[in-house]
Amino acid sequence: MAKTWNIANSWLTATSVLVLAACAGGGANLVPGQSTAADVEKSMGRPKEKTTNSAGESVWFYTSAPNGQTTNAVRMKPDGTMISMQQVLTKENWSKVIAGKTSSKEARELLGPPGEVSRAFGASSDQWTYAVMNDNRQHLLIYDLSPDGGTIAKAQLMLDPIYSAAGSP
């Protein structure tokens, strides 16, 4: 019995260490104005996408959960000093994307990389899909790009059929 307890206790200890290590990552230790690009990469790993925004800042996008349900954008000065980190896949941001007006570059700066990029058979342009939470329910945010890929042609928010129970409101 003592041997079984020691194995279980060792497993529990190892699991706790891994969980705490995971919690320590994710940027919790980063300090705007002090942390460097090397600190960000050490704490959060490689970003899904790196880009330069219209203000000339470097922006690193970190997604989590299936299809990037949360996306953190880490903004950095040209010298590599962290400016801020914020969750960008929010209702406030996606409501700024207006079909026929918002460029695909502007949408990408607001929301980060989509969880999925696809093209329907016979379609002339790409479709970006983001998994998002809206009113505590899983939704799909879908953007159809214009044929030249320069603007958002159509935007729709729908309940994710995988997580929507039949008959639920």
Report the pLDDT value the prediction gives residue 67, as an integer from 0 to 100: 66
By CB atoms closer than 10 A (0-12, 13-18, 19+), residue 73 is buried
Q: Which residues contact 132 (CB under 8 A, 6 or more apart)?
A: 69, 89, 91, 94, 138, 139, 140, 141, 157
Report the pLDDT value the prediction gives residue 15, as an integer from 0 to 100: 40
Report the pLDDT value the prediction gives residue 169, as an integer from 0 to 100: 54
Is the pLDDT confidence value at 26 over 70?
A: yes
For 56-97, the pLDDT digits (tens) are: 899 999 998 666 689 999 999 999 999 999 999 999 999 999
Least confident of 37-41, 120-124, 146-150: 120-124
Spell out the domains of the chain, with CATH numbers in brackets: 33-159 (3.30.1450.10)
